[in-house]
Amino acid sequence: MNGHAGLIALAGREVRRVLKLWTQTIAAPVMASFLFILVFGLSLGGQIKRVDGVSYEAFIVPGLITMAMIQAAYSNNSSSVYQARLDRYIHDILAAPMRPWEVNLGLAVGGAVRALAIGAALLVLAVLVTPTTVAEPFILLIAVVLALILFCSLGTVVGVYARTFDFQSFISNIVILPLTFLGGVFYSVDLLPSPWEQISHLNPIFYLVNAVRYGFLGTSDVSVPLSLGVTAALAAGAACWSLWLFSTGHRLKA
């Protein structure tokens, strides 16, 4: 197999998997998140005029886009890798003349494409009904790339370790989703009383939400270098973990 043909073929398969079921993988998450914008943004926006100098309906958009994207990246990769293990298809991938990083990247592409499609669609819809802007596109780009690396890699790791399909949903619904909601999607943590404001800073997703919000609105509850630094450290750890799994075949060759 010449060049990176295996990587291209595997990535293409993962993307086709996403696009074939686009009503479930893309349209449904977009509509669910857009309803949050309509219900919370436009209804509460009349009661909560401004947060950190911006309108409430615009304030919640970055967090909701972040939530939808990381959920999509995680769930896509965890389900894809788990299904590949269940069907023994993963053995064919490991037997192919591909480097471990190519396998890792190829499996992650589907989740990244799904997340980006959801994020782009939500942004277009949000612009139509809220005064959403992109104040710092370079910061936004960095934050999105780090988010995709982190949650695509995390999804891969969970897909490798999961013994049942329910375990993937458990991590998503009991860990990722609550941390995202408590990460300041609907409010500024500066408004919280002590000690809840300090406790919020222990939430890793809090830093990601604020990095994305700064990219959109130019405002953040914490310093942007710190937000990007924490997210980058988590992304590097998750990426190294997933790469190690494919390098060693841990729980994959059994």
Looking at residue 145, what is its pLDDT?
98
Calculate what percentage of the chain has a pLDDT beyond 90: 70
Looking at residue 1, what is its pLDDT?
47
> Is the distance from CB of 36 to CB of 65 less than 8 angstroms?
no
At 190, the pLDDT band (50, 70, 90 cuts) reads confident
Tens digits of per-residue pLDDT, 197-237? 888 999 999 999 999 999 999 999 999 999 999 999 999 99
Looking at residue 246, what is its pLDDT?
94
- The encoded tokens of residue 211 equal 């990095």
The residues spanned by each domain of the chain are: 5-248
Lowest-pLDDT range of 44-48, 108-112, 229-233: 44-48
Quickly tell me which residue has 């894809």 as its tokens.
80
Element of type H or E holding 54: strand 54-55
Looking at residue 189, what is its pLDDT?
86
H helix count then E strand count, the chain = 13, 2
Per-residue pLDDT for 110 more than 50? yes
| Residue 173 CB-half CA count within 13 A | 6
Q: What mean pLDDT value characterizes the chain?
A: 91
- Other C-beta atoms within 10 Å of 10: how many? 21
pTM over cut 0.85: yes
Tens digits of per-residue pLDDT, 48-80? 667 778 888 889 999 999 999 999 999 999 999
Write the single-letter amino acid at 190: D
Tens digits of per-residue pLDDT, 80-92? 999 999 988 898 8
Tens digits of per-residue pLDDT, 47-56? 666 777 888 8
Per-residue pLDDT for 44 more than 90? no
